[in-house]
Amino acid sequence: MSATGNERQSTPSDLQARKGDTPLVCLTAYTTPVARIADAECDLVLVGDSVGMVLHGLPSTVGVTLEMMILHGKAVARGLTRALMVVDMPFGSYEESPEQAFRNAARIMAETGAGAVKLEGGASMAGTIRFLTARSIPVMGHVGLTPQAINTLGGYKVQGRGEDADRVLADAAAVAEAGAFSVVLEKVPAALADRITAAVPIPTVGIGASAGCDGQILVIDDMLGLFTDFKPKFAKRYAELGQAAGDAVAAYAEEVRARRFPGPEHVFGEGARAKS
């Protein structure tokens, strides 16, 4: 059970009220079975646009569509009873105008049952966040490294070093002032993350940031070690399931080739009394 001890599903207001309290536990999920596992311990489950890279093999999140997010959002919702579900707004679904953002955010929430949406960008997105929150759509912000902008950022680089720190701080402040209930700080120096956490009135959720943030989030496939060839610096592996899965597939293949599987206990006998 999470630190909240709630049996009902958490709301954005519940999480916002946790500012400075026990850190928020957040993970991504993209399927019903994984959502059920995460729900037991997490305060927030994010249906991240990282699904494009993790499950669909895309080179970045830029190719993720609204339909993909809704499909996976529906699946994750079926596995949650306690954690707040937040769904990422994919690239191109909100940048054009606040009105475009509202139409697509409303569709996401109506079709998935999400409790909030997340969008990337700081000061440039403050007007959109304000527009959405004024129309009953809770928003989680995301500043620092914004993966949807890698084509302009030049890759997955740390943001906010040196003189750039003031920009990231201003972005987080703008998101908070616009009405976001929390903000993700991705791949920023720890000292800057601590400054932002102290400066803004909403919870900060770190990924590659600082233990001093009000919460932490990781891509669940990273922390479970499902990728054997990819290990970002900020993602601690709490298991090595990719290697375990590879070993299991190899054992299965060996037994099939040697005709040791299926064994007598895995096949069906004849007769009405045979076990099914």
Q: Do the annotations mark residue 136 as ligand-binding?
A: no
Task: Write out pLDDT tens, residues 165-178.
Answer: 999 999 999 999 99
**pLDDT surpassing 80 at residue 5:** no
The answer for residues whose C-beta is within 8 angstroms of residue 110's C-beta and 6 or more apart is: none
Pull the structure tokens for residue 197: 């956490």
The answer for residues whose C-beta is within 8 angstroms of residue 196's C-beta and 6 or more apart is: 168, 169, 172, 185, 188, 204
User: What does the pLDDT average to over 181-204?
Assistant: 98
What is the phi-psi region of residue 5: left when phi exceeds 0, alpha when psi lies from -120 to 50, beta otherwise? left
Element (H, E) at 186: strand 182-186
105/37 Cα distance (integer angstroms): 26
CATH class for the domain made up of 12-239? alpha beta
* 212 contacts 197 by C-beta, under 8 angstroms: yes
CA atoms within 13 A on the CB side of 240: 7
**pLDDT surpassing 70 at residue 4:** no
Higher pLDDT, 222 or 271: 222
**pLDDT surpassing 70 at residue 6:** no
**pLDDT surpassing 60 at residue 2:** no
Backbone φ, ψ for residue 65 (5° rounding):
-110, 165
User: What does the pLDDT average to over 207-212?
Assistant: 98
The pLDDT of residue 167 is 97
CA atoms within 13 A on the CB side of 43: 25
The pLDDT of residue 232 is 84
Pull the structure tokens for residue 1: 């059970």
Q: Do the annotations mark residue 270 as ligand-binding?
A: no
Task: Write out pLDDT tens, residues 18-57.
Answer: 999 999 999 999 999 999 999 999 999 999 999 999 999 9
Residue 186 among the catalytic residues: yes
Q: Do the annotations mark residue 19 as ligand-binding?
A: no
126/115 Cα distance (integer angstroms): 20
* 232 contacts 248 by C-beta, under 8 angstroms: no
* H runs (alpha helix) in the chain: 12-16, 32-39, 51-54, 66-77, 98-112, 126-133, 150-153, 165-178, 190-199, 220-223, 241-257
The pLDDT of residue 3 is 46
Q: Do the annotations mark residue 95 as ligand-binding?
A: no
The catalytic position among 95, 99, 111, 186 is: 186
The answer for residues whose C-beta is within 8 angstroms of residue 80's C-beta and 6 or more apart is: 9, 35, 36, 39, 45
Q: What is the mean pLDDT of the chain?
A: 94
**pLDDT surpassing 60 at residue 274:** no
- Identify the DSSP state of 121: B
Does the model's pTM come out above 0.85?
A: yes
Task: Write out pLDDT tens, residues 61-111.
Answer: 999 999 999 999 999 999 999 999 999 999 999 999 999 999 999 999 999
